[in-house]
Structure 1
Amino acid sequence: MSRSAHTKPMVLCLSGLDPSGGAGIQADMEAMLMTGSHCLPVITSLTVQNTQNVQATQPVNGEILRHQVESLLSDLSISAVKIGLLDGPDNVRVVADILKQLRDVPVVADPVLIAGGGYDFGAVDIIDLYLEQIAPHATIMTPNTHELFRLAKGSDSQSEAAERLLQAGAKHVLVTGGHEPGELITNRLYSGQKGDEPSQWQWARQPGEYHGSGCTLAAALASYLAQGHIVTDAASLAQDFTWQAIKYGWQPGAGQLIPNRRYPLEI
């Protein structure tokens, strides 16, 4: 059998393992498969969770993380990086060291601080360290409004909070508004250009609560950046993919719905 000449951009994904399959590394793999990229999955944390909430987490040893990525870098060409759950200071420091080796690669940082069911991942030491060591390497950060204000402590407005993340070194900040009230969800993309108004998108709110929507968005965004799209176009494409996945979402258990990232094959 001959080797296929077809290639896909490869995205290094550093995310937690969600046994329910709704969020984390499985969300990354499914979203990238459906948007045309190849996911290189490196698990940062083992979690005990279902569609209702997280019960416990266990960070993966930092040296194992480091060795996995070093092995990949010795063999494969990385076109983008997607960062999900970083479960503990050791995780954060190791990932920051990894990013220093990938300075010319777009990085999507999804600051997973609060689970949909309310479980709090974001200890104060993690938040401060995240801003210090991850934000400076981020091409784009993708917090929801709750995560945004946790990261930018003391901010009075969304624009002020986003500006703090930009000052920490992120080049762009895509703030998702799914936790805010209203029939329409408003997402805003802030850039580091002083005086620029944020780009804005609005999406019809779908009924129910969704487990893994943020992971889906960040993964799709990394996939499109890996394919060479500029940030604004990648953000638009990723939001559309995520909204469609939510629209065709399903409920496997007694908790939140899961985005159907395979929707193009199943509608």
Structure 2
Amino acid sequence: MAQQRIPVVMTFAGNDPTGGAGIQADIETIASMGCHAAPVVTALTVQDTRNVISFDEVAATLVIEQARAVLEDMPVAAFKLGMLGSIENIEAIHTLLTDYPQVPVVLDPIIAAGGGTGLSDTAMREAMVSLLFPLTTILTPNSQEARRFASEADTLDACGQELLSMGCDFVLITGAHENSPHVENRFYGSMRHLETFTWERLPHSYHGSGCTLASSIAGLLAQGVEPFVAVHEAQEYTWESLKHGYRLGMGQHHPNRLFWARGEEEA
């Protein structure tokens, strides 16, 4: 009997020594989706559960060498992009992605850490828009990021339309930062608002929730799930991982991305 091939998801992200966000978050999530993670480190961060203290980007040549070595050895079914570290890395990843136009791309356009430390500047954001957005299958900004990228828009719906006009196939704007009784995540495609997903607002702040959402979407796309269903199922998984989260340090809670591995009695 032939062995079933496990889909490979390549993730570009920074290393978070708390294990809450970045590469470890992506690996746990991608494995939870039934895929194999191929992690490419783009930055080394110094951070705790409250904020990023500092970071140093990995040289673009080394980022691409990491990726090319894997891509020449195994088939990659989806790309997930998180913290990219520098304009040079954005330019290098753009060149890489153009060689694999058939592979879906999920981009979490990170601007700042949960604690507020900036992780990209204006030039990096402009590079993302011009080089990566046109190659992106699903963009997953939170509402604050959406407003920064679509600065001329006066509503979140207008933000969604403007982000689509920048070249993304689909946009999912998450609403946890909004002052609303429930979390409303808004999904856009085909130059229109497709759906608003409403979720119970949980009581805590979570470290790595955006990484979890984007990586779960990428894992589902790698499995061949169509975008609308992937976005819905990824939100369900992310919400459950937050609901089962735990507080290890003095700052944000960690999502429990392996909640599904516990027995019913334990859960």
Q: TM-score range by the shorter chain?
A: over 0.9
Partner of 2:141: 143
**Partner SS for 2:204:** coil
Partner of 2:173: 175
Partner of 2:159: 161
User: What is the Cα deviation at residue 115 of structure 1?
Assistant: 0.8
- Please give the alpha-carbon distance, in whole angstroms, between the structure 1 residues aligned to 2:221 and 2:201: 26
Query: After superposition, what is the alpha-carbon deviation per residue over 1:137-174, rounded to whole angstroms, capped at 9, x for unaligned?
Result: 00010000011111112221112212221111100000
- Please give the alpha-carbon distance, in whole angstroms, between the structure 2 residues aligned to 1:135 and 1:113: 15
Partner of 2:108: 110
Structure 1 residues 65-74 or 233-242, which shifts more?
65-74
- Please give the alpha-carbon distance, in whole angstroms, between the structure 1 residues aligned to 2:166 and 2:258: 36
User: What is the Cα deviation at residue 67 of structure 1?
Assistant: 1.0
Displacement over 2 Å in runs of 4+: none
Partner of 1:205: 201
- Please give the alpha-carbon distance, in whole angstroms, between the structure 2 residues aligned to 1:101 and 1:257: 38
- Please give the alpha-carbon distance, in whole angstroms, between the structure 2 residues aligned to 1:11 and 1:4: 22
What does 1:31-46 correspond to in 2, within 5 Å? 31-46=29-44
- Please give the alpha-carbon distance, in whole angstroms, between the structure 2 residues aligned to 1:162 and 1:260: 30
Contact in 1 for aligned 2:186/2:193 (Cα 8 Å): no
Partner of 1:62: 60
> What value does the CA root-mean-square deviation take over the aligned residues?
1.2
- Please give the alpha-carbon distance, in whole angstroms, between the structure 1 residues aligned to 2:44 and 2:122: 21
Partner of 2:242: 246
Query: After superposition, what is the alpha-carbon deviation per residue over 1:37-95, rounded to whole angstroms, capped at 9, x for unaligned?
Result: 11100011100101000011100000011111111111110100000001111111011
- The residue type paired with residue 253 of structure 1 is G
Partner of 1:74: 72
- Please give the alpha-carbon distance, in whole angstroms, between the structure 1 residues aligned to 2:201 and 2:32: 23
**Partner SS for 2:193:** coil
How many residues in Structure 1 have an aligned counterpart in Structure 2?
263
Residue in structure 1 matching 2:3, options 5, 8, 21? 5
Structure 1 residues 180-189 or 229-238, which shifts more?
180-189
User: What is the Cα deviation at residue 176 of structure 1?
Assistant: 0.3
User: Is 1:124 the equivalent of 2:130?
Assistant: no
Partner of 1:235: 231
**Partner SS for 1:197:** strand
Query: After superposition, what is the alpha-carbon deviation per residue over 1:2-21, rounded to whole angstroms, capped at 9, x for unaligned?
Result: x9824210001001100000
Partner of 1:21: 19
Partner of 1:53: 51
User: What is the Cα deviation at residue 182 of structure 1?
Assistant: 2.2
Q: With structure 2 as the length reference, what TM-score do the two structures score?
A: 0.96
- The residue type paired with residue 251 of structure 2 is G
Stretches of structure 2 lacking an aligned partner (at least 5 in a row): none
- Please give the alpha-carbon distance, in whole angstroms, between the structure 2 residues aligned to 1:189 and 1:124: 25
Q: With structure 1 as the length reference, what TM-score do the two structures score?
A: 0.96
**Partner SS for 1:225:** helix
